Amino acid sequence: MIKSIVILLAMELLLPVLFGMVFALSDENVTGRKHFFFSSLVNGQIVLYALFQVVAVYSVLHSINFSYVLKRFIPAASAVLAALIILVIVKYRKKLASVLKNKPEKISFWGVIGFLLFVFMMVMSFFLTYTDGDDAYYVTTAAEAVVSDTMYAKNPYNGLATISSFRYMSAPYPIWLAFLSKSTGIYPTALAHTFFPWSMILLSFSVLFLMARNLFGGDTKKRGIFLFFASVLIMFGDYSIYPAENFLLARARQGKAALAAFVLPYLVCLMITIVKRIGEGRKVGLRELSLITFTAVAASLCSTIGGGLSLALVSATALATAVVYRKLKIPALMVLMNLPAFAFVILYLVKG
């Protein structure tokens, strides 16, 4: 069991950081260790989600066994990781050394309290397990994939052979849960209800940290107050089964939780970054534009509607930016970089 937990920690913490280092180091605003860690963690998880979405949907469309996903995703992810690490060594090794040597920023009182509240939520998510009606589909689908080496071949409610709706097959988040279960040796149900929620809360906190940096820059007091009030709103926002707070605290194992509490908030954070750069007359480069694509595809993994919501958000931001700053090139590129994810929505409409 200890070995499984160590592997899980490596997959949920170390692996995303390694995947996201390039995106963190290519951001000139990242100078401290905390900012580097949270930026790497978030961006790396987004890239992993996007890669997995492509492999998993291809496998589901061709009715291939679950083991095929492992055989294709692991080598593909390894190749991408190797390329990213080489890029860090060749282009960003000096920046990495500088970031790691920098003294950590002082944390304000409000920041400490906000962080402790998120730690409290992470601990409680581990001990206070919660069941939901959707578990009958999502968790069972993950368990079926691990046990029978199939994907969406059975009705999880009665175990009979059936063809699942493409609404679920085009957003295979339960297969991601099955992948983590198979890789760590932890049973899908145990993983979903105990170990998985804390990682989603950590990702949500990391996005809020990045958003605070975007909004308030180096003002640690304002950033701390932002994180404190965000944590309070999350803790007391679970007033029904519908708000994003409920998905994060009670249903973190479901794709809708990852979409509402992690992916879409990060896309908002990314839009703020791009608009600020345009407003300040700074260049919007390949880093920001490519992250739009990765984030939109990651949203498609979480939910069928994810690609459509990401396109709506990016398009609205692009339109407002074009009107306010009277620039068309970057807003047009923003929408264009989101279109690959919308292909999953079209695929659902055609296949569904």
* Band of pLDDT at residue 336, cut at 50, 70 and 90: very high
Q: Compare 211 and 170 and report the one with higher pLDDT.
A: 211
Which region, left, alpha or beta, applies to residue 185 given φ > 0 means left and ψ of -120 to 50 means alpha? left
The two structure tokens encoding residue 72: 């294709």
How many helices (H) and strands (E) are present in the chain, helices listed first?
Answer: 18, 0
pLDDT attached to residue 235 = 85
- Computed over every residue of the chain, the mean pLDDT equals 88
* Band of pLDDT at residue 332, cut at 50, 70 and 90: very high
Tell me the pTM: 0.93
Q: What is the DSSP string of 138-170?
A: HHHHHHHHHHHS-SS-B-TTT--B----HHHHT
The two structure tokens encoding residue 125: 């998510």
Q: Convert the pLDDT of each residue in 25-63 to its tens digit.
A: 998 888 888 899 999 999 999 999 999 999 998 888 877
DSSP one-letter code for 281: T
* Band of pLDDT at residue 169, cut at 50, 70 and 90: confident
How many other CB atoms sit within 10 Å of the CB of residue 175?
A: 27
Given a cut of 70, whether residue 162 has pLDDT beyond it is no
Q: Convert the pLDDT of each residue in 293-331 to its tens digit.
A: 999 999 999 988 898 899 999 999 999 999 998 888 999
Residue (of 25, 4, 35) closest to 216 by Cα position: 35
Decide: 244 and 260 in contact? Cβ < 8 Å: yes
Given a cut of 70, whether residue 165 has pLDDT beyond it is no
Please state the length of the chain. Answer: 352
pLDDT attached to residue 351 = 66
pLDDT attached to residue 222 = 93
Q: How many CA atoms lie within 13 A of 80 on its CB side?
A: 19
Residue (of 289, 306, 314) closest to 341 by Cα position: 306
Q: What is the mean pLDDT of residues 258-270?
A: 94
Q: Convert the pLDDT of each residue in 171-221 to its tens digit.
A: 889 999 999 999 999 998 889 888 888 889 999 999 999 999 998 888 889
Q: Convert the pLDDT of each residue in 78-96 to its tens digit.
A: 999 999 999 999 999 999 9
The two structure tokens encoding residue 342: 């919308």
Given a cut of 90, whether residue 77 has pLDDT beyond it is yes
Phi, psi of 232 (to 5 degrees): -65, -45
pLDDT attached to residue 352 = 58
* Band of pLDDT at residue 166, cut at 50, 70 and 90: low
CA angle 75, 12, 186 (to 5 degrees): 85
